[in-house]
Amino acid sequence: MNQTRGIRNNNPLNIRRSSTHWQGARKEQTDKSFVQFETMAYGYRAAWKILQTYYERFCTQGKAYTVRNIIERWAPPTENDTEAYIRSVLKLSSIGGKEKLLPPSNVLSYGRLSRLVIAMTCIECGLEYNRVDTEAIAHGYKLAFPANREKLDEWLLEEDEYRYW
């Protein structure tokens, strides 16, 4: 079976190459458009970091941190059918489009935002929801927010719903 570009690159949200020097990026970058990571967890780490940056920017711009605003920034209409992307994410994640979300750095946001990340992975990589590597998402979160490692581990042990994603 052919793997999608995001899977081959260990970049499940298809983060574009830029001047950012990502932790865990492969030394040799052979894809001209998208970052290639050493592991899927590092690809998710980058995604979590970008989502945190969005939160911080939205706050300074007086914008709400919502799925709609996140996707409008992530998948702009100049490159995507943004409205279709938003509809798909809302359906897959079961999060309201205008629901205000907590910042990614707050471990209490993990449940909701991990569903957002799973939904975005489905869209970007053409995967079914239950085929997304939730362990890599959690590992990426811990790499992005090391101070939350123990809290996330406790949450994952307590959260029965997580096991059925």
The predicted-structure confidence for 103-147, as pLDDT tens digits, reads as follows: 999 999 999 999 999 999 999 999 999 999 999 999 999 999 999
Nearest 10 degrees: CA dihedral of 153, 154, 159, 162?
0
Q: How far is CA 52 from CA 55, 102, 113, 115, 118, in A?
A: 5, 10, 11, 15, 16
Looking at residue 72, its amino acid is E
Give the residue from 104, 90, 94, 86 showing the smallest Cα distance to 147.
104
Element (H, E) at 23: none
- Position 165 scores a pLDDT of 44
- Position 164 scores a pLDDT of 46
- Position 160 scores a pLDDT of 54
- Position 162 scores a pLDDT of 47
Cα distance between residue 77 and residue 35, in whole Å: 21
Residues recorded for the chain: 165
- Position 155 scores a pLDDT of 84
- Position 69 scores a pLDDT of 96
The parts of the chain modelled with pLDDT lower than 70 are: 1, 159-165
Structural domain boundaries in the chain: 5-149
